[in-house]
Amino acid sequence: MPPILAKAPAVVYAGILFVSIMSSNLFQRYIIRLTNDLRFEMELKILAKLKSSSYERFEKLGNEKVFTAMGDARELADVPEVLMNTFNAVVIVVCCLGYLFWTSLIGGSMILLIMAVLLVVYLYRNKQAERDINALRDLQDKYFIYLNDLLHGYKELRMSAGKTNKLFDNHFFPNRREGKKLATGIAIRYMSNELTGKYSWYIVLGVVIFGLPTLIGFRNVQLLAFISTILYLIGPVAVLVTLVPTITRVKVAVSRLNRFEQQMNTELDKEEVPATPATTIHPAERIRFEDVRYNYTDEDGNTAFSLGPLNLDIEKGKLMFVTGGNGSGKSTFVNLITGLYKPESGRVFLCMADGSEISSEEPHYRDHLSVIFTIPYLFNENYYDFTIDEKHAPFKHLSEIMQLDSVLRLDAKKGMADKNLSKGQQKRLAMIYSLLEAKSILILDEWAAEQDPEFRSYFYRKFLPGLIKDGKTVVAITHDDAYFKYADTVVKFDYGNISSTTEIDLVLNN
């Protein structure tokens, strides 16, 4: 044989090896990309939903549903591997069955029948497991609710043995014990399914070896073909069987994610967040409430509280105090004026100097307002349009006014102040950030509640009138009636309606 031909098999071998390595590498890369695409794309999708969700929708959903959805998104990472293994196993099973049928029609039919029975039994038993997986995810939702209570109410819990015992003994521990019971039950059910599946094959083998030769007169060569094929089949069928739990988990995760998506936002209450604030913002002449109504409904759809109809004008450069008893609707009013709640009927809008109107449902409405809620949240990262350093003059000026200049520590990396402050100081820092946003309307929900008497007096007598002098419009929810005289208007809420509107100048003039 010429040396070139002698080398050929080696070359072919090397070629096959090369093609195999390359294709395997390419395929694995593809699977890795697909795995991560699925998982991270779903997380991105959930985040995008959260970005465009209305506050009302988000409020109804609850934080724990978001955490569970992120967990469900992680389950999707298993999809490509499951698909790949399923495909491989199915191809082998189909080829083996084809071979069995080719070898013996009766024998092949018998094996197919046994496999079909096993499949039906398996799928039936899997239904129960699927229910348990769903129940386990529901327990997970509840678990996150308790975790929320534990993490946010830790101080309150430490102060009360009763509350601590109830949270842990009546909720946490039973939840985790039930979770353990369900998870163990699911695993045992799958394990026993797998064992049944595996040993059924040995029964089949027994029938083939001892039954078929006498029953249908199997020849030795057919027997050999059946035995070797069945032994070969056990592996891929076992793969299919062990994949079922993962497929079921993925199926449950997908249906829960779909439900989450539907709950998260419908096209109707989708909120577009503008990419950038409006370039030129002219201060509005007034904020107008026109026949505004808003209802809270309970779980049965009955009205639990109803606000309005509200008709109100808040003029540019004026200071309005909003007061009223607990539960009279002041914070709901704040949510309407800020556009976080959409009126059920009527309109909230800004009247501009050129006669145009900006509805509270328009994306750029909120470019005109800053708000400090009753319990303001100070962010961990700087999401503002400004960064603060030692030389930032407006920040220095405002921190002196807020008497925080000797307290605030600047985090140079983040370009913002450290937020480890007392409650009152946190509100003062929130005020600094709100004023640095330089919007023409400022909404305050019980801002002065935590301030010391001296600073509170300064706030009402000097600070708020100073803002008005600078051209801001301020709406402040307050119970501090001793300072009502510093407002232009005091509006009182009672049972969801405005019960009185007092123009202070008129009072002083009389």
Rounded to the nearest whole angstrom, what is the least distance from the CB of residue 273 to ligand ATP in the complex? 22
Q: Which two tokens stand for residue 177?
A: 């014990």
Q: Which stretch binds ligand ATP (CB under 6 A): 77-85, 228-236, 265-273, 322-330?
A: 322-330
Report in angstroms the alpha-carbon separations of 371 from 15, 334, 437: 69, 9, 10
Rounded to the nearest whole angstrom, what is the least distance from the CB of residue 266 to ligand ATP in the complex? 19
User: Residue 433 CB: number of other CB atoms within 10 A?
Assistant: 21
Helix (H) or strand (E) run with residue 323 in it:
strand 319-324
Closer to ligand ATP by Cβ: residue 378 or 449 = 449
Closer to ligand ATP by Cβ: residue 329 or 339 = 329
Both ends of the chain: CA-CA distance in Å?
124
Closer to ligand ATP by Cβ: residue 107 or 329 = 329
In sequence order, what are the residues at sequence separation of 6 or more whose Cβ sits closer than 8 angstroms to the Cβ of residue 255? none
3-state secondary structure 352-389: CCCCCEEECCCHHHHHHEEEECCCCCCCCCCCCCCCCC
Binding of ligand ATP by 305 (CB under 6 A)? yes
x/- letters, 58..77, toward ligand ATP (CB under 6 A)? -x------------------
In sequence order, what are the residues at sequence separation of 6 or more whose Cβ sits closer than 8 angstroms to the Cβ of residue 309? 291, 292, 293, 345, 346
Binding of ligand ATP by 308 (CB under 6 A)? no
Which strands make up the sheet holding 303-315, listed edge to edge? 303-315, 286-297, 345-351, 357-359
Q: Which two tokens stand for residue 171?
A: 């909720």
484/448 Cα distance (integer angstroms)? 13
Binding of ligand ATP by 473 (CB under 6 A)? no
Q: How far is CA 448 from the centre of its chain?
A: 33
Binding of ligand ATP by 329 (CB under 6 A)? yes
Rounded to the nearest whole angstrom, what is the least distance from the CB of residue 329 to ligand ATP in the complex? 4
Q: Which stretch binds ligand ATP (CB under 6 A): 152-160, 277-285, 326-334, 355-363?
A: 326-334
Closer to ligand ATP by Cβ: residue 298 or 505 = 298
Binding of ligand ATP by 323 (CB under 6 A)? no
Question: Site size for ligand ATP, by CB under 6 A?
Answer: 12
Closer to ligand ATP by Cβ: residue 305 or 386 = 305
Q: Which stretch binds ligand ATP (CB under 6 A): 166-174, 189-197, 261-269, 319-327?
A: 319-327
Binding of ligand ATP by 304 (CB under 6 A)? yes
Binding of ligand ATP by 428 (CB under 6 A)? no
In sequence order, what are the residues at sequence separation of 6 or more whose Cβ sits closer than 8 angstroms to the Cβ of residue 151? none
Choosing from 330, 368, 456, 472, the residue that interacts with ligand ATP (CB under 6 A) is 330
Closer to ligand ATP by Cβ: residue 58 or 190 = 58
Sign of the CA dihedral with 418 first, then 424, 427, and 433 last: negative
Binding of ligand ATP by 324 (CB under 6 A)? yes
Rounded to the nearest whole angstrom, what is the least distance from the CB of residue 386 to ligand ATP in the complex? 31
x/- letters, 2..41, toward ligand ATP (CB under 6 A)? ----------------------------------------
CA nearest neighbour of 35 among 84, 74, 77, 71: 77
Binding of ligand ATP by 57 (CB under 6 A)? no
Collapsing DSSP states into helix, strand and coil, what is residue 501? strand
Residue 440 near residue 473 (C-beta atoms within 8 A): yes
Residues at the interface with ligand ATP (CB under 6 A): 59, 296, 304-305, 324, 326-332
